Structure 1
C-alpha cells in the first residue's frame, strides 16, 4: 500500500468524518496534506503545488465538486482530480468525466484504489509541470526574437533553405542566413535539428507574434 513516491494531496469533502479519516491516513503514508470542508474554502486558501492531486467529493453544498472542476479550469489550475462519491446522478457523472479526472471512486472504496489513483495523478502532474516549464522557457526565448526572425522561425522548422526563406520573405539569401543564425543563437539550439526537437508538438500560433 505504500506509495512509490510522495507528493501533495488536497482532500475536499464536506463530510468531516471522511475528510479527517482520509487526511490522517494519507499523512501517515507520507503525503503532505490539506483538507477543506468546501470548494470555496479550497479556492480561497489553497496554493498551486506541484506535484499534487485533488481528492474531491462530487456532492457538496453551494459549489459541487464538478462545479469546482470547471472553476479550476477557468483559473488555469490543472491539478489532476480523483472524484469520490456516495451518490451521484448520471448527469453529474457525465459532467465529471468530461473533465477527464484520474478516477471516479464510489464510497465506500478500497484505500488501495485511492492510493493507486493518487499515484497516477501525481505522475501526470509531474509530466504536466515539466511541459509547463519547457513551454515557458521556449516562450522566453521566442520573445527575444525580432519580428523578422519570428517570420524566419517557422520557415526554418518547415525545412526551407536560406534561398527558400529569402524568396518567401523577399529578402537577400545572405540576410536570410543571418536571421537563421540569430534564431539558432537566441533559441540556444546549435543546429536546426535541435530547434526542431525543442519545438516538436508546439503550437507556434499560440505563442503570438
Structure 2
C-alpha cells in the first residue's frame, strides 16, 4: 500500500465497468485500490493490509458477497465491508446486515455516500489495528508473570490493595507487596493507575 494514500480499498465486483469506474475514481481521490472480479480472486490474491476497507458486490457467480463476508469472518479477517447492490431481496439485505457492514448502498448510489462509508471504514480498521497491537503487547508482558503474579494482577485490576491481596491469597502482606511491585515492573507500568489505564476494558481471562 502506498504510505501516502488516504487508505486502501478493495473493490470486488463481477461487473468490469463498475470495477474500472470505481478504481479510477478512488485512485484520483488518493486511495490505493485493488480490484477483483470475484470473491475467489479476492481470497487468493489479496494481501491483508491496514487500514483498508472492502467495497463488495452482493450478487456474484459462484460465491456471493454475503458468502465472502462469512468466509472472511471464519478466517479471522476483519476488514470492514461496504456492500453495493443493483438488486437485492430483503433476505439478502438482512443476511448482509447481520455481519455489521459499514454500509449497504443500492446502485446507483451517490459517490459521496460511498466516500463517507469508505472513510468511516478506514478509521474503524485503523483503530481496530491499534487495539490488536496493544492487546498483543499486553499479552506478551502478561506472559512474563509467574502464576502467583497473575493472581495478584487480577486482584490489582479489581482494586485490591496489599491487605486485600494477602487475605484473598492467604499470603503475608510483605509478600503481596513484593508481588505487586513485580507485576508493575514486568507490565512496565510505574503506578497502579498506569496499569489500570493500560488494561482498561480488557478481560484478563482472555490472556490465558
TM-score range with shorter-chain normalisation?
A: over 0.9
Runs of 4 or more consecutive aligned structure 1 residues displaced over 4 Å after TM superposition: none
Match of 2:177 in 1: 177
Is 1:18 paired with 2:39?
Answer: no
Please state how far the C-alpha of 1:22 moved relative to its aligned partner: 0.7
Relative to the length of structure 1, the TM-score reads: 0.95
Match of 1:98 in 2: 98
Match of 1:152 in 2: 152
CA–CA separation in structure 1 for the residues paired with 2:117 and 2:160? 46
Is 1:121 paired with 2:141?
Answer: no
CA–CA separation in structure 2 for the residues paired with 1:57 and 1:116? 18
Relative to the length of structure 2, the TM-score reads: 0.96
Match of 1:143 in 2: 143
Match of 2:58 in 1: 58
Is 1:206 paired with 2:198?
Answer: no
Match of 1:82 in 2: 82
Superimposed CA distance per residue, residues 128-178 of structure 1 (whole angstroms, 9 cap, x where no aligned partner): 111111111111111111111111101011111212111111111111111
CA–CA separation in structure 2 for the residues paired with 1:139 and 1:34? 34
Please state how far the C-alpha of 1:53 moved relative to its aligned partner: 0.6
Any idea what SS the aligned residue of 2:134 has? helix
Please state how far the C-alpha of 1:185 moved relative to its aligned partner: 0.3
Match of 2:31 in 1: 31
CA–CA separation in structure 2 for the residues paired with 1:143 and 1:89? 49
CA–CA separation in structure 1 for the residues paired with 2:67 and 2:142? 36
CA–CA separation in structure 1 for the residues paired with 2:22 and 2:164? 62
The alignment of Structure 1 onto Structure 2 pairs a total of residues equal to 204
Superimposed CA distance per residue, residues 29-63 of structure 1 (whole angstroms, 9 cap, x where no aligned partner): 11111000111110111111111010000001111
